[in-house]
Amino acid sequence: MSLSIKELKEKLAIVILAYADYESLELALASHAKFSADSGVHIFVLQNGRGSYDCERTYAVGKRYHQLYPKTIDVIDDIQPGIPYYSLKTLFKSERFKKYEYIIKLDDDVLVLTEDWVDKLCKCYIESSEKYGDDLSYVTSLVNNNPYGFKKIIELSNDLKQEYFDTIAREHLVGCTPNDPYAPYRIIPKEEICSGSNGTIWGYPYICRWLHRKTTLVPQEYINFSRQLPYDEVNSKDRYSINCMLFKKELWEIIYDGGSDDEHMCHAYCLKYNKKIIADLSIPMVHLFFFSQRNECKDMIDEMRVVYTDFLKLNFPITICNNRLIEIENRLRAIENAKQAVVGVGGGGNPAVRGDLPFLSRKIIGGIICFHDHGLKYTIKRLFQKIFG
């Protein structure tokens, strides 16, 4: 590859797949406002869910940042929500993406921390492509709350290594299923860290909480720690979560094997054909929560907002609503408005859902109304009657 960083960036797009985690997306887009908006690379937020309060709230976050950065951030809302692989495939094959040859795909709860992260990731891709040629699959960064990234941080930080193994580590369960060929259930000793699929940090929110306190909530210390770290080859047998990847757009078609899980297909492709995955460990990033951690660690969001308001120093609030009571009120009002989206009276005095609403919306609204008026037991009974006659 003879591309310069500038030439690569001219053919590059950043894509963030969003669904319903609006609080995390607010933090992520705030970090992009600070460190990506002037990178020269366009940012696309693909809203892959609509209709529910959380999806619409997430969509509103994306639109807010589009209003703040209309030349840099766009929200894609005209692709039918569905399985992420196919939604992204539709976007990549669309006319609006015809001019892009390279993609940086980021999760919607990943925060970037340095203004040079795009240039450094591009440099890593160019150098790795020159070294490995067609054997290169993609390049990535150092993501803290990630099975691979967590293990690297513990290995490379003497202070965190000692604290982790002295006070945090315990014998623990890792793996996906009992008979999984790549990541079977197994119990490993406290002295080991599993960096593969459903590895050490994935299933243990208390470890995630500890790690966030040592990295995410002290961003400058995390940046200083990673500043001089080298490139590292990721073991393709370790099916870690891909929170960040820079790749040739054509890779999205190449990895397809008839499945629907893009991460699984990507890892399977790299393993089968011995493709290289290279991480630039000097690019620190934050991944907030796996679904297995979110409920137990979500209370950290408020503290993160405070820390990143000070760290980013943007000239606007980083969140739409910073008051949880108002947020709850807004959610209740949305449910109330959904119930009021009815006209007339049906048989037995029940409201009749407006016929001009989409079919799925009518069913959801009808379910909400039934639950509100008759309770869960009756609603489940009616559901079974509708399905089985």
DSSP string over 300-320 = HHHHHHHHHHHHH--SS-SSS
**pLDDT for residue 238:** 80
Hey, what domains does the chain have and what are their CATH numbers?
A: 5-313 (3.90.550.10), 325-388 (no CATH)
Hey, what are 316's tokens? 């606007």
Beta strands in 202-289 (DSSP E): 231-233, 244-248, 276-287
Hey, what are 141's tokens? 């960064």
Tens-digit pLDDT string for the chain (389 aa): 579 999 999 999 999 999 999 999 999 999 999 999 999 999 999 999 999 999 999 999 999 999 999 999 999 999 999 999 999 999 999 999 999 999 999 999 999 999 999 999 999 999 999 999 999 999 999 999 999 999 999 999 999 999 999 999 999 999 988 888 778 899 999 999 999 889 999 999 999 999 999 999 999 999 999 999 999 999 888 877 799 999 999 999 999 999 999 998 999 999 999 999 999 999 999 999 999 999 999 999 999 999 999 999 999 999 999 898 999 999 999 888 887 775 444 444 444 445 555 555 556 666 666 665 666 667 776 776 666 65
Q: How many CB atoms are closer than 10 A to CB 284?
A: 26
Greatest extent of the chain over all pairs of C-alpha atoms, in Å: 73
How far apart are alpha carbons 264 and 286 in whole angstroms? 22
Beta bridge partners of 161: none
CA distances from 220 to 86, 124, 284, 307 (A): 37, 22, 10, 11
Give every CB contact of residue 151 below 8 A, 6+ residues apart in sequence: 193, 194, 195, 199, 200
Give every CB contact of residue 352 below 8 A, 6+ residues apart in sequence: 342, 343, 344, 345, 346
Determine how β-strand 186-188 pairs with β-strand 42-47.
Answer: unpaired
How far apart are alpha carbons 247 and 234 in whole angstroms? 15
How far apart are alpha carbons 14 and 58 in whole angstroms? 18
How far apart are alpha carbons 202 and 146 in whole angstroms? 7
CA distances from 92 to 102, 183, 262 (A): 10, 31, 14
**pLDDT for residue 344:** 44
Best CA proximity match to 330, nearest among 22, 53, 23, 121: 53
Beta bridge partners of 162: none
**pLDDT for residue 345:** 41
How far apart are alpha carbons 21 and 56 in whole angstroms? 10
**pLDDT for residue 348:** 43
How far apart are alpha carbons 26 and 320 in whole angstroms? 8
**pLDDT for residue 363:** 62
Helix, strand, coil shares of the chain, percent, nearest 5, are 50, 20, 35
3-state secondary structure of 178: coil
Give every CB contact of residue 330 below 8 A, 6+ residues apart in sequence: 321
Hey, what are 244's tokens? 């960040």
Burial 7-31 (b: 16+ CB within 10 A, else e): ebbeebbbbbbbbbbbbbbbbbbbb
**pLDDT for residue 241:** 78
**pLDDT for residue 370:** 64
**pLDDT for residue 45:** 98
**pLDDT for residue 375:** 65
Hey, what are 290's tokens? 């796996």
Enclosing H/E stretch for 143: strand 136-143
Question: What DSSP state is assigned to residue 249?
Answer: T
Q: Name residue, tokens 């990143």.
A: 308
